[in-house]
């Protein structure tokens, strides 16, 4: 069976960006997998520390158990998303313990996020986690630059962020980072932003973001590893599709599917109704937004 590292490389070679759907609540698992399978597509399911600390994913173990009950290996794999070294509230995290637990549970790829640290320390931490993951036979994702949005408090105006390039991944650091850290996939900041997760803002519609495509193309040229687009909800479609030809092989989607599930649960008071709404939204994303229906064989061949 093809491993996750090979699948992401196959997506990159085909000019495709596979969606990675964040499971913020355990009942989201089944409808997302069913939607991907019904579209004969391929995706990752993932859970981040935020999903179990601030929403209803409970724990990496709980998500893995639910995934195993529902899994369809020919359509989905499971990824550990964002394990920060310093979290969105400025607190230090025992990232190594979380990642070691995930690897022992059988997660098929992992991400450490040391992007809030100086680049030298980011390289050191990423190299440490890459060594752990490689010994377990799975790829390691890291982040360089700052994909903003999870922090407490309001963001600066988006146009100010984009025009100044605040937090954007630096070209002069990217090649060195990949070489010295040993990461397999690199999450980059090129205008994408995370959905807000604070209690006051988590239900707000995301700002429509756009991507600095020229910078993205240069990042691919100088790193030559699969690139990852975090904050995939709300980016204008033409930029997302263009990014697939510029090294983006994985696109994280959290806010859009979480809000679809939460809104239906609130309006109709039924988990089943929320799952139905989530299934419908996932189908639209796979089929119409990312245009990835029927691509499974291209990825797994």
- Express each pLDDT in 89-109 by its tens digit: 899 999 999 999 999 999 999
Domains defined along the chain, listed by start: 4-300 (3.20.20.70)
What pLDDT does residue 162 have? 87
Report how far apart, in Å, the C-alpha atoms of 99 and of each of 20, 60, 119, 130 are. 18, 10, 21, 10
229 beta partners: 188, 251
**Per-residue model confidence as pLDDT tens digits over 7-56:** 999 999 999 999 999 999 999 999 999 999 999 999 999 999 999 999 99
Residue 78, pLDDT > 50, answer yes
Give the Cα-Cα-Cα angle 152, 156, 159 (nearest 5 degrees).
Answer: 145
The predicted pLDDT at position 200 comes to 43
Please give the share of the chain, as a percent, with pLDDT higher than 90: 84
């Amino acid at each position: 069976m093809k491993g996750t590292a090979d699948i992401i490389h196959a997506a990159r070679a085909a000019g495709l960006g596979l969606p990675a759907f964040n499971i913020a609540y355990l009942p989201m698992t089944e409808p997302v997998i069913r939607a991907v399978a019904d579209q004969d597509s391929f995706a990752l399911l993932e859970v981040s520390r935020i999903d179990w600390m601030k929403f209803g994913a409970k724990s990496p173990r709980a998500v893995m158990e639910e995934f195993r009950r529902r899994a369809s290996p020919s359509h989905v794999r499971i990824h550990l998303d964002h394990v920060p070294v310093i979290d969105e509230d400025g607190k230090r995290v025992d990232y190594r313990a979380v990642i070691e637990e995930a690897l022992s549970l059988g997660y098929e790829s992992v991400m450490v996020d040391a992007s809030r640290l100086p680049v030298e320390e980011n390289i050191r931490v990423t190299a440490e986690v890459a060594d752990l993951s490689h010994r377990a036979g799975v790829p390691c994702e890291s982040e360089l630059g700052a994909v903003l949005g999870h922090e407490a408090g309001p963001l600066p105006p988006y146009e100010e962020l984009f025009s100044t390039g605040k937090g954007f991944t630096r070209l002069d650091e990217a090649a060195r980072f990949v070489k010295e850290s040993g990461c397999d996939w690199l999450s980059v900041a090129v205008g994408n932003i995370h959905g807000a997760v604070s209690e006051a803002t988590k239900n707000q519609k995301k700002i429509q973001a756009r991507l600095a495509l020229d910078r993205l193309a240069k990042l691919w040229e100088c790193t030559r590893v699969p690139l990852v687009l975090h904050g995939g909800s709300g980016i204008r479609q033409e930029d997302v599709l263009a990014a697939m030809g510029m090294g983006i092989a994985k696109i994280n989607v959290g806010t859009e599917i979480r809000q679809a599930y939460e809104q239906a649960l609130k309006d109709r008071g039924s988990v089943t109704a929320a799952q139905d709404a989530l299934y419908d939204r996932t189908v639209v994303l796979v089929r119409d937004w990312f245009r990835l229906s029927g691509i499974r064989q291209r990825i797994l061949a």
